[in-house]
A = this chain, B = another copy of it.
């Protein structure tokens, strides 16, 4: 099908790269862990981030911020704070991952959601800043899930553009990283998105040996196990 919409949207800069049908991008997406030295064009980074802004969000809060780290020294600092020296020297993944030319920290802050749900059109929800139990009043931490929507769009848009990507949790050093980057109190990262170009070899994650759960396994009709 001829693409019409995004040709009218000048904010997408990278549409000349032979875009895929949606399902191809979904099926082709994988977590790349061996990046080449090739730098990533800034217009590609902007395109991927622009795609992220089209994620849905509760009350259209859009409580997301993105820090792009491409400076080699800052990237090195990120890895030194978030990983152990042992991992950096012994993991077979370490060098390939650390070569990724662009790291993006997607951040969110529940306070932005509490503010949004304090506005007149949402105040009746009881989910605003005046509720002393506001954190527990939200049935789901929609600040995290909205940000995940945005990250999912980044990963498949990257794939669509022939860009390698990985998403990883930050399990250590988060506070030091946020301080170093001057992130205001309250904002936290969902993890890190690494972007760049792939190189061989890049063996699949051992976790994939678990196998993908099929539709038959995960779907229930009209009720659990019915």
A residues near B, CB below 8 A? 1, 3-6, 9, 11-12, 15, 18-29, 31, 46, 49-51, 53-56, 58-60, 62, 64-71, 74, 121, 125, 139-142, 144-149, 151-153, 155-157, 160, 167, 169-171, 174, 180-184, 188, 190-191, 205-208, 210, 212-215, 218-226
Task: Please indicate the chain B residues that have their CB under 8 angstroms from the CB of A20 in the complex.
Answer: 1, 3, 21-22
C-alpha spacing A30/B51, complex, angstroms: 14
Count the copies. Answer: 2
Instruction: Determine chain A's interface SS by DSSP, over half rule.
Output: mixed
A26-B121 in contact given A181-B223, A222-B69 (Cβ < 8 Å): no
Nearest-Cβ distance from residue A101 to partner chain B, whole angstroms: 13
Nearest-Cβ distance from residue A4 to partner chain B, whole angstroms: 7
